[in-house]
Chain A
Amino acid sequence: MGLKEKLHGIKEDFKGKKMAPAFNALHTFLYTPNETTHNGAHIRAVDDLKRTMNTVIMALIPVLIWGIFNAGYQHYAAVDAANGIVREASLFGNFFTWDNFTMGAITVLPLVIVSYGVGLLVEFIFAVIKGHEVEEGYLVTGMLVPLIVPVDIPLWMLAVAIVFGVVIGKEVFGGTGMNILNPALTIRAFLFFAYPTWMSGDKVWVHGAKEAVGTPDAISGETILGSYAQNSSVVYDFADKFFGFIPGSVGETSTFLILLGGLFLMFTKIASWRIILSAIVGAAVMGLIFNGVADAGWITESSKFYGLMSTPYWEHLIIGGIAFGIVYMATDPVSGSQTNTGKYWYGFLIGFFSIMIRVFNPAYPEGVFLAILLMNVFAPTIDHYVVQANVKKRMKRLKLKTA
Chain B
Amino acid sequence: MSKDIKIKKGLDIKLVGEAEKSIAEAPKSRTYVIKPSDFHLVTPKMLYKEGASLKAGEPLFYAKKDESIKFVSPVSGTLTEIKRGAKRVITHLVIEADGKDTTVEFPTLDVNAANAEAIKARMLESGLWPFIKQRPYDIIANTETTPDAIFISGHNSAPLAPDYNFSLKGKEAYIQAAITALSKLTSGKIYLGVGKASDSVFANISEVEMHTVSGPHPCGNVGTQINKIAPINKGETVWTVAPENLAIIGELFLTGKFNPERVISVSGSGIKAPKYYKTKIGAEVSTFAYSAGIEGDNVRMISGNVLTGDQVNADGHLGYYHNEFAAIPEGDDYELFGWNKPVFNKISSSRALTFSWLFPNKKYDLDTNTNGEHRAFVVTGNYEEVFPLDIYPLQLLKACMVQDLDAMEALGMYEVAPEDFALTEFICVSKQPHQAIIRKGLDLMYAEIG
Query: A residues bordering B, Cβ < 8 Å?
Result: 4, 7-8, 24, 28-52, 54-55, 133, 135-137, 174-178, 267-270, 272, 274, 333-334, 336, 338-340, 343, 383, 387, 390-391, 393-394, 397-398, 401-402
Residues of B within 8 A of A46 (CB): 343, 346-348, 354, 356, 371
A32 touches B338 (CB 8 A): yes
For A43, give its contact among B368, B381, B434 (CB under 8 Å): B368
Residues of B within 8 A of A272 (CB): 380-381
The reply on B447 being an interface residue by CB < 8 A is: no
Count how many chain B residues have C-beta atoms less than 8 Å from C-beta atoms of the other chain. Answer: 79
Residues of B within 8 A of A402 (CB): 235
For A42, give its contact among B233, B307, B394, B429 (CB under 8 Å): B307
Query: In angstroms, how far is the closest chain A Cβ from the Cβ of B376?
Result: 3
For B352, give its contact among A8, A24, A52, A178 (CB under 8 Å): A52
B57-65, B72-80, B113-121, B384-392 - the one binding chain A: B384-392
* CB<8 Å pairs between A and B, sample of 11: A33-B373, A36-B331, A37-B368, A40-B434, A52-B429, A133-B375, A135-B375, A137-B378, A270-B350, A390-B391, A391-B410
A47 touches B427 (CB 8 A): yes
Residues of B within 8 A of A35 (CB): 369-370, 373
The reply on B433 being an interface residue by CB < 8 A is: yes
The reply on B152 being an interface residue by CB < 8 A is: no
Residues of B within 8 A of A52 (CB): 350, 352, 378-379, 429
Query: In angstroms, how far is the closest chain A Cβ from the Cβ of B322?
Result: 13
For A398, give its contact among B234, B337, B349 (CB under 8 Å): B234
The reply on B311 being an interface residue by CB < 8 A is: yes
Residues of A within 8 A of B15 (CB): 43
B306 touches A43 (CB 8 A): yes
Of A34, A46, A274, most buried by chain B (CB within 10 Å of CB) is A46
Residues of B within 8 A of A28 (CB): 339, 373
Per-residue 0/1 for B407-448: is the Cβ within 8 Å of any A Cβ (1 yes, 0 no)? 000111000001000100111111101111000000000000
B422 touches A32 (CB 8 A): no
Q: A42-B368, A46-B356 are in contact. List 16 more A-B contacts (CB 8 A).
A: A32-B335, A36-B332, A40-B436, A43-B426, A46-B343, A47-B349, A47-B354, A48-B371, A49-B429, A51-B352, A176-B376, A268-B351, A338-B394, A338-B395, A343-B381, A387-B411
Q: Say whether, besides A177-B378, A390-B411, A47 and B350 are in contact (CB < 8 Å).
A: yes
Q: Say whether, besides A41-B425, A46-B346, A47-B371, A4 and B334 are in contact (CB < 8 Å).
A: yes
Number of A-B residue pairs, CB cutoff 8 Å, is: 227
In whole angstroms, how far apart are the Cα atoms of A55 and B431 in the complex? Answer: 18
B233 touches A47 (CB 8 A): no
Of B235, B337, B368, most buried by chain A (CB within 10 Å of CB) is B368
Q: Say whether, besides A45-B347, A343-B381, A39 and B334 are in contact (CB < 8 Å).
A: no
Residues of A within 8 A of B374 (CB): 133
For A45, give its contact among B330, B349, B351, B377 (CB under 8 Å): B349
Please, which residue of chain B has its CB at the minimum distance from the CB of A46?
Answer: B346
Of B306, B307, B331, B352, most buried by chain A (CB within 10 Å of CB) is B352
In whole angstroms, how far apart are the Cα atoms of A14 and B339 in the complex? Answer: 22
In whole angstroms, how far apart are the Cα atoms of A178 and B430 in the complex? Answer: 13
Residues of A within 8 A of B434 (CB): 40-41
The 9 A-B pairs at the shortest CB distance, nearest first, are namely: A48-B372, A177-B376, A32-B338, A31-B334, A50-B339, A46-B346, A55-B352, A338-B380, A398-B233
